[in-house]
């Protein structure tokens, strides 16, 4: 069969105006960091070219941001009727839609993900979350958390680099709808869309101090989380950092929500539609270069169809296009940073040394930037590190099973419990298996599907609490 060659179809970067340097967004204005703050550069992971100079906020900067959030909470936002808060959220959602092309291009430049993902998935979901929680702002008494739910206060939020704008929406939208104010710290490698959101807050005339954005690395995030005047902590990121945050807030009055790592099992039974399952497997592990906490990084396939499915999967992988994130034909973009690329390479090499067999399609990697070819490992046992540890990259570990009981046992044999997928034509089997899987989200004959009305979260080392849906309001309400 002939393979079509795709002509380049680049999205123009001219729509984005990246400033040479950015300040912090505190009290409704962009301000300079104090004398103790430093500066660092964010880079384009596809080219390694510097994009902008960013403030590395100091504890003093965080103090200013929390004070601004507290003032806005006490004087304006907590006193504002829900229907009026909703107007601001609706306005923000509409501005995100109006600026969607700009935000999608900026996200792909700063993060490395393909433009078709940021354009067709991330940014539409960002707007949808603000629309959804705008609808809840004047209906909180009907959310199921008491007749008189009240906001908590100031929320300190720390988000990761894999879905910068979407994680911002997951955190900020419910917090504001519930009447809280926010101090948010984006990841140090992907701060630009958060700073663009600050501009949207100004454009929406959001009262000063309701949203504050402080950029920086781990020390800045620690200052936000440990600040004495922060009432609620929300974190998405690694399990290691999540443990440290849990220890830091233990014994305090602070509420906490943690959405951490995962090692999801994608379970394919012999009666599944093979071609459909292959598309779900590809989406489950190669979407966003595998930089997904709920990625289907373990494939459990029934022995009787394993060879057929793997042949189909390899054929499908030869059609994946790796390259320029701004090319609309690109399926797999750049790895977000040199640090993450080194982590992926390390665990992949360990997998080969432990006896698993790697396979990648023919793939020309660009000379500059951070790139890793999509890879599957067969001959994997449950003892292999690639079957146990979160790689957070485009690497799939393939295991087999014979019976449904064995599939469930292998799927649950992980310290994580964020998500899973089940592929079968039998509805009764879907329900039976899903009921036995220790995972916060179970997809049936699909994978990586999200909706703002649906809660998301995990068990065990994948964290606790839920984001999305009415359940996402609970952690931001006193009831």
CATH 3.40.309.10 fits 265-444, yes or no: yes
Q: What is the pLDDT of residues 26-45, one digit of tens each?
A: 999 999 999 888 999 999 99
Going from N- to C-terminal start, the domains of the chain cover 24-260+462-478, 265-444
Q: What is the pLDDT of residues 267-284, one digit of tens each?
A: 999 999 999 999 999 999
pLDDT at position 6 is 79
pLDDT at position 37 is 85
Element (H, E) at 430: helix 427-436
Euclidean distance between CA atoms 65 and 68, whole angstroms? 5
Q: Answer whether residue 120 shows pLDDT above 80.
A: yes
Q: Answer whether residue 5 shows pLDDT above 80.
A: no
* Local structure of 325: helix, strand or coil: coil
pLDDT at position 36 is 84
Q: What is the mean pLDDT of residues 147-164?
A: 97
Q: Answer whether residue 2 shows pLDDT above 60.
A: no
Residues in the chain, how many? 479
Euclidean distance between CA atoms 146 and 136, whole angstroms? 14
Among all residues, which ones are annotated catalytic?
A: 259, 293
Euclidean distance between CA atoms 260 and 254, whole angstroms? 18
Question: What percent of the chain is predicted at pLDDT more than 70?
Answer: 99
Q: What is the pLDDT of residues 206-264, one digit of tens each?
A: 999 999 999 999 999 999 999 999 999 999 999 999 999 999 999 999 999 999 999 99
Q: What is the pLDDT of residues 364-393, one digit of tens each?
A: 999 999 999 999 999 999 999 999 999 999
The beta strands (E) that lie in 365-476 are given as: 375-378, 395-401, 416-417, 419-423, 441-444, 459-460, 463-464
Euclidean distance between CA atoms 120 and 101, whole angstroms? 10
pLDDT at position 340 is 98
Euclidean distance between CA atoms 290 and 164, whole angstroms? 15
In the predicted model, what is the mean pLDDT of the chain? 97
Residue found by looking up tokens 């592929």 in the block: 423
Do 24-260+462-478 and 265-444 share a fold? no
Q: What is the pLDDT of residues 399-414, one digit of tens each?
A: 999 999 999 999 999 9
- How far is CA 284 from each of CA 120, 471, 478, rounded to the nearest angstrom? 16, 25, 36
Q: Answer whether residue 1 shows pLDDT above 80.
A: no
Query: Could you tell me the pTM of the whole model?
Result: 0.96
pLDDT at position 479 is 78
Q: What is the pLDDT of residues 317-337, one digit of tens each?
A: 999 999 999 999 999 999 999
Backbone angles phi, psi at 224, to 5 degrees: -65, -50
* Local structure of 199: helix, strand or coil: helix
Q: Answer whether residue 463 shows pLDDT above 90.
A: yes
DSSP 141: G
- How far is CA 286 from each of CA 68, 190, 200, 385, rounded to the nearest angstrom? 41, 20, 31, 19
pLDDT at position 250 is 95
Q: Answer whether residue 4 shows pLDDT above 80.
A: no
DSSP 88: H
The tokens describing 307, both together, are 């060879």
Q: Answer whether residue 454 shows pLDDT above 90.
A: yes
Tell me which fold the domain 24-260+462-478 belongs to. Answer: Aldehyde Dehydrogenase; Chain A, domain 1 (3.40.605)
Instruction: Tell me what percent of the chain is helix, strand and coil, each rounded to the nearest 5.
Output: 40, 20, 40
Q: In terms of C-beta density within 10 A (0-12 exposed, 13-18 middle, 19 or more buried), how is residue 385 classed?
A: middle
pLDDT at position 3 is 59
Smallest CA-to-CA distance from 23 within 224, 219, 216 is with 216
Smallest CA-to-CA distance from 181 within 159, 157, 162, 153 is with 153
Backbone angles phi, psi at 359, to 5 degrees: -145, 135
Backbone angles phi, psi at 282, to 5 degrees: -60, -45
């Amino acid at each position: 069969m002939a393979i079509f060659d795709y002509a380049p179809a680049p999205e123009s970067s001219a729509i984005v105006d990246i400033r040479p340097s950015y300040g912090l967004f505190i009290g409704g204005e962009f301000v300079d960091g104090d004398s103790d703050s430093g500066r660092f550069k964010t880079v384009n992971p596809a080219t390694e070219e510097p994009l902008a100079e960013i403030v590395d906020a100091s504890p003093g900067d965080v103090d200013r941001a929390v004070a601004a959030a507290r003032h806005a909470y006490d004087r304006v936002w907590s006193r504002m009727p829900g229907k009026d808060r909703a107007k601001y959220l609706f306005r923000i959602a509409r501005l995100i839609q109006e600026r969607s092309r700009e935000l999608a291009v900026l996200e792909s430049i700063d993060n490395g993900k393909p433009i078709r993902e940021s354009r067709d998935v991330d940014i539409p979901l960002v707007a949808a979350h603000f629309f959804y929680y705008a609808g809840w702002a004047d209906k909180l008494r009907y959310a199921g958390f008491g007749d008189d739910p009240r906001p908590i206060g100031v929320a300190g939020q720390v988000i990761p680099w894999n879905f910068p704008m979407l994680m911002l929406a997951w955190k900020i939208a419910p917090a504001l709808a519930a009447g809280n104010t926010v101090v948010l710290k984006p990841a140090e490698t992907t701060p630009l869309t958060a700073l663009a959101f600050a501009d949207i807050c100004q454009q929406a005339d959001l009262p000063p101090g309701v949203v504050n954005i402080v950029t920086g690395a781990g020390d800045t995030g620690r200052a936000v989380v440990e600040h004495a005047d922060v009432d609620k902590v929300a974190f998405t990121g690694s399990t290691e950092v999540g443990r440290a945050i849990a220890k830091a807030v233990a014994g305090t009055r602070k509420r906490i929500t943690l959405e951490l790592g995962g090692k999801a099992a994608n379970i394919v039974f012999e009666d599944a539609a093979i071609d459909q399952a292959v598309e779900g497997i590809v989406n489950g592990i190669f979407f966003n270069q595998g930089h997904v906490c709920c990625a289907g990084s373990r494939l459990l396939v029934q022995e009787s169809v394993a060879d057929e499915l793997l042949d189909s999967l390899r054929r499908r992988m030869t059609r994946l296009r790796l390259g320029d994130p701004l090319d609309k034909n690109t399926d797999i973009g750049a790895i977000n940073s040199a640090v993450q690329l080194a982590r992926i390479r390390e665990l992949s090499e360990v997998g080969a040394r432990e006896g698993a067999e790697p396979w990648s399609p023919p793939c020309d990697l660009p000379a500059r930037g951070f790139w890793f070819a999509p890879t599957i490992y067969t001959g994997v046992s449950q003892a292999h590190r690639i079957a146990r540890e979160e790689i957070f990259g485009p690497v799939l570990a393939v295991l087999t099973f014979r019976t449904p009981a064995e599939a469930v046992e292998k799927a649950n044999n992980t310290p994580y419990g964020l998500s899973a997928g089940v592929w079968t034509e039998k509805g009764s089997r879907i329900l039976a298996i899903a009921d036995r899987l220790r995972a916060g989200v179970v997809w049936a004959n699909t994978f990586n599907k999200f909706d703002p009305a649906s809660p998301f979260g995990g068990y065990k080392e994948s964290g606790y609490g839920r984001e999305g849906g009415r359940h996402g309001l609970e952690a931001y309400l006193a009831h």
